[in-house]
Amino acid sequence: MLSVGIILAAGALSGLVAQKTKVPDVVIFLLAGMLLGPEAAGLVDINAGSSLNQIILIFGSCYILFDGGATIRLRVLKEVWITIVMISTVGVLIMTAVTGLAAYFIFHIPLVIALLLGATIAPTDPATLVPLFKQVRIRDRVAQTVMSESAFNDAMGAIITFAVLAIATGRGEFSVFVSLRSLLMESGLGILAGAILGYAAAFLIAHEKYNFLSEYAPVVTLMAVIGAYLGADNLHASGFMAVFVFGIVIGNKDVFGFKMEKGEEEGLEQYVLTTAFIMRMFIFMLLGSQVNFGLMNHYLGGGILVVIICMLLARPLTVFICASPDRRAKWSLKELLFMCWTRETGVIPAALAGLLVGMKAPGADMIASVTFIAILVTILVQATTTKWLAGKLDLLVED
């Protein structure tokens, strides 16, 4: 209770600082968590392997994904879906390969361990990107492509990570067919679960005749977010994808013929905004508090070099190979350059690294350290410069 109270108090102050300094709030939350953690002030000490920490990370990520999905517009997805599919699948493989090779030469570790590191930090982070694009208003199709990619590439990142882990521990060998089948199964079932629950929730809160739960829309969405994740997870599907699709359906409920009263719609939006703010406050302050400075310092030089290669080589290769051939989207050079820079590492890589440490996987401590270096560098450098770069590339739009 004391830790929760401290996080809420520090989070409110951090939010005010972020507002005054015009810096994305996730950056301030991360720094505040580092100051409050056991390595500094010692006021917040929630173990990374604890059930409480896992619940906060998973549910918080789910809710932020739901919030992000609700901002996506189907008309935009129709235009850019090819890029999203390519960059969320082939793109993750490119990121894994290039980053893994960089780690292999820099740390002089076995190739399979280097690829395990590459797979862990390959996915981008919806928990960072969704709130970032709510504060930095850029062209719809660019923002929604990057947000959608961050939701859809989590499943691919997890599949590659555990496929490489099986090889590293001698429990299996990599199979393109098996990995592709797993991806299609996890993605397909996740999309189906999210779509069904999203339609059911929209029916109960916004149907012209049967909207008897319209007054309880926040509770319905909260239950459905939990239900979408757990339902998909029990089906061995991507829970994060299910939650994201659920958000898309709720955000586009008018397309399905559902419409809420203006006051009820505004009340639901305010509830979602407030809850999402609290979730990212907890997520990033917890991540900051769990940074092991001693272990991270051991891999700091090599870790920063790996992250720089990931940011400046692997990501641009991914974007230009996967997005530039998309004739339907017709991306401009400025849009492609912006997407090259926007690929923050965050909650999902942190969760994967935590799982590897818990399983005592080969090289897990090194992977966890470099993952936290990637989180710190990408959020502190890329997130803070997003608005500046969007302005330079003429991608900002007026509120």
Q: pLDDT tens-digit profile of 235-269?
A: 878 787 888 888 888 888 888 788 877 777 788 88
| Domains (range + CATH), the chain | 70-392 (1.20.1530.20)
**Number of helices and strands in the chain (H, E):** 18, 0
Which residue from 369, 371, 312 is spatially nearest to 346, judged by alpha carbons?
A: 371
Separation between Cα atoms, residue 53 and residue 282, nearest integer Å: 10
Phi, psi dihedral angles at 206 (to 5 degrees)? -140, 5
d(CA 172, CA 157): 18
Above 90 in pLDDT, residue 319?
yes
Chain segment 191-209, per-residue pLDDT in tens: 888 899 888 888 888 876 7
Specify burial of residue 37 (Cβ count, 10 A radius: 0-12, 13-18, 19+). Answer: buried
Residue type, 130: V
pLDDT of residue 340: 92
> What span, in angstroms and rounded, lies between the C-alpha atoms of 149 and 303?
25
Mean pLDDT for the chain? Answer: 84
C-alpha distances in Å from residue 237, one per residue of 7, 154, 241, 326 = 32, 12, 8, 28
- Helix ranges, 342-395 (H): 347-358, 364-377, 384-392
- Which SS3 state, helix, strand or coil, does residue 305 take? helix
The pLDDT score that the predictor gives to residue 173 is 59
Query: pLDDT band for position 176 (50/70/90)?
Result: low
Q: What percent of the chain has pLDDT over 90?
A: 18
Both tokens of residue 234? 């029990």
pTM to 2 decimal places: 0.78
Phi, psi of 138 (to 5 degrees): -125, 180
pLDDT of residue 316: 94
